[in-house]
């Protein structure tokens, strides 16, 4: 096939101008000679890339500059494109309980979550990880984890559709004061995305590896009404991360519109591991009472409390009480009556503050009787509470000590039933069962009378709110010791709106009978002072109101 001949010889084209310099092409640059109509390119593609034609007068001066101008981001979607890409959102894969870190840079600054796959990325600019993820994976909808604003990438405009309000609420659940006040009065049942029924406030918590000790403590604290209301309603954005993350976790536990019927404590656990220098982590099990003491003290400082001034935070106002301690050195008169010895001899007296009261169990019998009635010993709660009656002494090192509570008692009392002891060789556990009522525990016999603060002879009623129990589970071990015991922690919580009890062990939630609460090895108890009795703070209208 012969080549097509030119219309004129090349030698005759003497006056032809030199060809224009080559410039980089942009995919969505409008064709020469075609002007956009109404702000939309004539090629029918809505895009955020625009290349401005260089001015003819300054063309020679701009030869050294970049050939491609920076892309211009859209401030709003084009007409008829307001709901573009929203149908690609997959709510079932969204999980905002984990720490907000970019999956590529591991940075926690300016983090966005992809609403299509649930991954975290940093930034949304033209060179950000979220921008490249949108181009590579064709995932276009992202939410800022701090401002809760939703954007479409790579275009970069914000979406203000009300259909995204449920996602914003799950990211940061916020309830009004009226809604919080109804949590303990009106029974409520919710459903997650899988149509699974759950009760807000009584949801499972993920045990990532060995953080069940943490789960039971957080579950118990989230049902202490004054503490719960404070962290659900107060603005803690200027406080340290420990207070902010605990507030977020409490609000997610009580979330009535959750996507899943359980929560994960990963974000708060990471902060606690950092603050405690990995003393408390998700990979190694710890003692719940030791963790509770550490957590309350650091939470007290995180919400603005003073290390030297008692009652300077909500933590101290709820849990802190006063204890009188009388001590005397043990002498040769061991056969003398203890009470007379304390009255006759010189006694050292001091007043101390407490957050947790320790209750000592009687020593377990070494041998069972013939009819095996004492296979598991039992003791009433009032017997071990007699430690604080101011009469019964306790031997402590070289001294004999006796304790007495002082008015006013705190709104909530924390009891630690001491079951574990260590010696040089082995750690021992006391399996004694403690029998206690779930309501109407009278604490007046253990408080020193003070007519100025409380009428003498009046009972001081406390009701049980939460009970943390221990269970020893045997597991096979190939070591020389043979079978080992593994500690399993479980919490029992009271639903005030239904007057029912729930048992929660990690992700498992089930109802329990109030009559059988004491049958397990109780280790940590939370008692709440009943309203409507003398010495209790009045309600907002100035009148104390009782609670059934």
Q: Is the pLDDT of residue 376 over 70?
A: yes
Angle in degrees, 0-180, between the axes of helices 288-302 and 241-253, rounded to the nearest 10: 110
Q: Is 224 helix (H, G, I), strand (E, B) or coil?
A: coil
- pLDDT category at 197 given cuts 50, 70, 90 is very high
The neighbouring-strand residues paired with 400 are 328, 395
Q: Is the pLDDT of residue 58 over 80?
A: no
Distance of CA 351 to the CA centre of its chain: 34
Say what the pLDDT of residue 396 is. 80
- pLDDT category at 478 given cuts 50, 70, 90 is low
CA distance 130 to 153: 8
Place of tokens 């750690």: 427
- pLDDT category at 391 given cuts 50, 70, 90 is confident
Say what the pLDDT of residue 207 is. 93
What's the full length of the chain, in residues? 548
* Secondary structure (DSSP) of 292-306: HHHHHHHHHHHTT--
So where are the chain's domains? 24-72, 86-170, 326-529
Q: Are 432 and 364 in contact (CB under 8 A)?
A: yes
Closest to 188 (Cα-Cα) out of 198, 196, 180, 178: 198
CA angle 510, 249, 160 (to 5 degrees): 115
Burial 531-543, CB ≥16 within 10 A → b, else e: beeeebeeeeeee
Say what the pLDDT of residue 57 is. 41
| Mean pLDDT of all residues belonging to the chain | 82
Say what the pLDDT of residue 160 is. 86
Q: Is 349 helix (H, G, I), strand (E, B) or coil?
A: strand
Q: Provide the token pair at 381.
A: 């709660």
Q: Is the pLDDT of residue 395 over 90?
A: no
Q: Is 480 exposed, middle or buried (0-12, 13-18, 19+ CB in 10 A)?
A: exposed
Q: Are 315 and 305 in contact (CB under 8 A)?
A: yes
Say what the pLDDT of residue 531 is. 85
Express each pLDDT in 307-354 by its tens digit: 888 889 999 999 999 999 988 887 655 555 555 455 555 678 899 999
Express each pLDDT in 217-275 by its tens digit: 999 999 999 999 999 999 999 999 999 999 999 999 999 999 999 999 999 999 999 99
Compare 503 and 72 and report the one with higher pLDDT: 503
Compare 222 and 363 and report the one with higher pLDDT: 222
CA distance 429 to 472: 9
Beta-sheet strands, E only, within 56-196: 111-114, 120-122, 141-144, 150-152, 157-159, 190-191
* % of the chain beyond a pLDDT of 70: 76
Say what the pLDDT of residue 138 is. 93
* % of the chain beyond a pLDDT of 90: 57
Q: What's the predicted TM-score (pTM) here?
A: 0.80
Say what the pLDDT of residue 484 is. 73
The verdict on domain 86-170 having CATH code 3.30.40.10 is yes
* Secondary structure (DSSP) of 426-476: -EEE--PEEE--SS-EE-GGGB---TTTS-TT---EEEEEEEEEEEEEEE-
| Averaged pLDDT, 115-127 | 92
* From 29-33, 135-139, 203-207, 227-231, the region with the lowest mean pLDDT: 29-33
Q: Provide the token pair at 59.
A: 């063309």
CATH of 326-529, one of 3.40.1710.10, 3.40.640.10, 3.90.70.10, 3.40.50.10490: 3.90.70.10
Say what the pLDDT of residue 10 is. 52
CA distance 267 to 98: 5
Say what the pLDDT of residue 302 is. 95
Q: Is the pLDDT of residue 468 over 60?
A: yes
Distance of CA 484 to the CA centre of its chain: 32
- pLDDT category at 15 given cuts 50, 70, 90 is low
Say what the pLDDT of residue 23 is. 46
Conformation bin of residue 546: beta by default, left when phi > 0, alpha when psi is -120 to 50: beta
């Amino acid at each position: 096939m012969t080549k097509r001949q030119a219309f004129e010889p090349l030698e005759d084209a003497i006056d032809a101008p030199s060809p224009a310099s080559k410039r980089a092409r942009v995919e969505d640059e409008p064709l020469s000679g075609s002007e956009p109509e109404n702000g939309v390119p004539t090629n029918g593609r809505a895009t955020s890339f625009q290349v401005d034609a260089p001015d003819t007068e300054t063309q020679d001066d701009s030869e050294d500059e970049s050939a491609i101008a920076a892309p211009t981001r859209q401030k709003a979607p084009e007409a008829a494109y307001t709901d573009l890409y929203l149908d690609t959102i997959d709510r079932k894969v969204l999980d905002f309980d984990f720490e907000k870190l970019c999956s590529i840079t591991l940075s926690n600054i300016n983090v966005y979550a992809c609403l299509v796959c649930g991954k975290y990325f940093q930034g949304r600019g033209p060179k950000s990880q979220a921008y490249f993820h949108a181009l590579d994976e064709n995932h276009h909808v992202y939410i800022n984890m701090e401002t809760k604003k939703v954007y479409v990438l790579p275009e970069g405009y914000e979406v203000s559709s009300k259909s995204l309000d449920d996602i914003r609420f799950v990211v940061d659940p916020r309830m009004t004061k009226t809604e919080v006040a109804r949590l303990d009065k009106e029974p409520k049942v919710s459903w997650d995305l899988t149509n699974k029924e759950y009760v807000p406030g009584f949801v499972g918590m993920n045990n990532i590896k060995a953080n069940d000790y943490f789960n039971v403590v957080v579950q118990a604290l989230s049902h202490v009404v004054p503490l719960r209301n404070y962290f659900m309603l107060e603005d803690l954005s200027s406080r340290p991360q420990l207070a902010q993350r605990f507030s977020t976790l409490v609000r997610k536990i009580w979330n009535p519109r959750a996507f899943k019927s359980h929560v994960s404590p990963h974000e708060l656990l990471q902060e606690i591991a950092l603050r405690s220098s990995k003393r408390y982590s998700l990979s190694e099990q710890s003692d719940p009472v030791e963790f509770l003491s550490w957590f309350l003290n650091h939470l007290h400082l995180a919400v603005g409390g003073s290390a030297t001034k008692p009652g300077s935070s909500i933590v101290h106002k709820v849990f802190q009480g006063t204890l009188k301690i009388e001590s005397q050195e043990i002498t040769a008169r061991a056969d003398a009556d203890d009470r007379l010895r304390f009255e006759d001899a010189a006694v050292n007296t001091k007043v101390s503050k407490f957050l947790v009261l320790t209750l000592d169990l009687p020593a377990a019998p070494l041998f069972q009787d013939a009819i095996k009635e004492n296979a598991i010993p039992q003791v009433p709660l009032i017997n071990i509470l007699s430690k604080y009656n101011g009469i019964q002494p306790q031997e402590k090192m070289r001294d004999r000590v006796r304790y007495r509570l002082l008015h006013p008692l705190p709104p909530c009392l924390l009891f630690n039933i001491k079951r574990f002891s260590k010696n040089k060789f082995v750690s021992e556990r006391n399996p004694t069962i403690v029998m206690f009522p779930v309501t109407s525990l009278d604490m007046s016999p253990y408080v020193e009378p003070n007519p100025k603060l409380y009428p003498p002879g009046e009972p001081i009623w406390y009701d049980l709110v939460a009970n943390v129990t221990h269970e020893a589970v045997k597991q096979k071990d190939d070591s020389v010791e043979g079978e080992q015991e593994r500690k399993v922690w479980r919490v029992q919580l009271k639903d005030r709106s239904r007057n029912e009890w729930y048992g929660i062990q990690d992700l498992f939630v089930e109802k329990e009978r109030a009559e059988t609460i004491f049958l397990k090895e109780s280790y940590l108890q939370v008692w709440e002072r009943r309203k409507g009795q003398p010495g209790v703070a009045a309600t907002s209208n100035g009148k104390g109101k009782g609670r059934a």
